[in-house]
Amino acid sequence: MTKTDMNIFDSLESEVRSYCRDFPTVFNKAKGHKLWDENGKEYIDFFSGAGALNYGHNDPKMKEKLIEYIADDGITHSLDKATTAKAEFIQKFNDVILKPRKLDYKMMFPGPTGTNAVESALKLARKVKGRTDIISFTKGFHGMTIGSLSVTGNASKRKGAGVPLNHSVTMPYDSFVDEQDTIPYIERYLEDSGSGVDIPAAMIVETVQGEGGINAASFEWLKKIDELCKKWDILLIVDDIQAGIGRTGTFFSFEQAGIEPDIVCLSKSLSGYGLPFAVTLFRPELDIWSPGEHNGTFRGNNHAFITASAALDYWTDQEFEKSIKKKSEFTLKYLQDIVNKYPELKGTVRGRGLMVGIACENGDVADKVTSECFKRGLVMETAGMDGEVFKLFPAINIDDEALKQGLEIIEESVKSVVKEPVTN
């Protein structure tokens, strides 16, 4: 195979491309937690497609099913016609995920991306409640189409809209204001008819904010948000696109908080294989859609139905969650040790489950760490408004050795950045 000329991207692809700037090589192969580039260099992947590859790359069981399906000329594209592959997914998702968790949700396939799921959730909430406004939270990220962008906090992403973003109000996420509980603020805005904030159709929240900088809301805060929603007749939408599908330790990230959202958005790792796929879940009594009122050409991606069904097998065994938990504890401890050992980093450990990271003093430091990691064969990205958090997203089924190896690379990289570790 001849090697790819990187100039192709420079000359023919838009300046909007980004990750290829951080990881300047041409990748061509992947397996589990490993990536290879055209030079044959191997990388440990602590990036996992920004959360779209929670089970690692090209999982062998899913791969087998997918090849078989394709070879048999299974339906590839079906819009929302009924297909065998779709029926199997629906049934299995209900049996393996919803029922055991006593969740009674209807499924909607809103188009194959996270932002499609968010847009459909907002539409449905507005239709059900007959209200226009949505409450979102500081540093929240929900997607790049205008509806989703309206509930996203990031100023530069918002500016990209080119139009003012309306029909949304941003409330303070847990810990947004130092030493102030944000719940009383939110409650005052709801209860006081002079607050200028109308009762919204819904609140949309991430239990752990990914793009926002690996900010984990406390379970207590999430419970209070849930209570406020119930008290004021507001629908609660959990955007579980990045934090869901096992990333924080359970299938849905909100399980641990003991809440049951009215609407849930899933995408990213839902297909298990990195294929475009999304689902919007909601309580059956909210299902007042007219046929086709929201649609999309790729809402029936059958390849994704096939791999997503296969991926559900991970969740039939209780041991899976336990193993994530174990890996998470190991990782958090390791990161805390790094923070303690290298005080020059001025780091703070953040996150929950395997959605974790270290907030550095600023974005430059975090960038240096990830660059050093990349040189040493570890792919990892940054998050936060200034990119000040380096963010670990290992596959949730990574083997312990590879996890440790990746963490060691991180430590070495931190060390090389801060130069001289304090001995303690």
| Pairwise CA distance, residues 268 & 237, whole Å | 17
Chosen residue from 39, 40, 82, 424 binding a copy of itself by CB under 8 A:
82
Cβ proximity to a copy of itself: between 347 and 384 the closer is 384
Chosen residue from 33, 224, 247, 303 binding a copy of itself by CB under 8 A:
303
| 103 counts as binding a copy of itself under rule CB under 8 A | no
| 285 counts as binding a copy of itself under rule CB under 8 A | no
Footprint on residues 218-277 left by a copy of itself (CB under 8 A) = 241, 267-268, 273-276
Chosen residue from 101, 167, 223, 325 binding a copy of itself by CB under 8 A:
167
Footprint on residues 144-163 left by a copy of itself (CB under 8 A) = 144-148, 150, 152-163
| Pairwise CA distance, residues 358 & 41, whole Å | 27
Cβ proximity to a copy of itself: between 26 and 404 the closer is 26
Helix or strand holding residue 226 (H, E): helix 219-231
| Pairwise CA distance, residues 264 & 117, whole Å | 9
Q: For residue 66, what are its two tokens?
A: 């997918």
CA 136 to chain centre: 16
| 348 counts as binding a copy of itself under rule CB under 8 A | no
Tell the smallest beta-carbon distance from residue 408 to a copy of itself (Å): 24
Tell the smallest beta-carbon distance from residue 87 to a copy of itself (Å): 4
CB 35 within 8 A of CB 27: yes
Amino acid identity, position 247: R
Chosen residue from 101, 103, 107, 341 binding a copy of itself by CB under 8 A:
107
Cβ proximity to a copy of itself: between 72 and 319 the closer is 72
| 57 counts as binding a copy of itself under rule CB under 8 A | yes
Cβ proximity to a copy of itself: between 248 and 321 the closer is 248
| Pairwise CA distance, residues 110 & 247, whole Å | 22
Q: Tell me the DSSP string of 140-184.
A: ----SSHHHHTT---HHHHHTTSS---SEEEEPPTT-STT--SHH
Chosen residue from 42, 100, 180, 343 binding a copy of itself by CB under 8 A:
180
In 3D, which of 228, 191, 223 has the Cα closest to residue 207? Answer: 223
CA R_g for the chain = 22
| 127 counts as binding a copy of itself under rule CB under 8 A | yes
| Pairwise CA distance, residues 254 & 330, whole Å | 22
Footprint on residues 312-341 left by a copy of itself (CB under 8 A) = none
Chosen residue from 39, 102, 164, 419 binding a copy of itself by CB under 8 A:
164
| 371 counts as binding a copy of itself under rule CB under 8 A | no
Cβ proximity to a copy of itself: between 31 and 404 the closer is 31
Chosen residue from 39, 40, 102, 290 binding a copy of itself by CB under 8 A:
290
| Pairwise CA distance, residues 79 & 102, whole Å | 29
Helix or strand holding residue 330 (H, E): helix 319-341
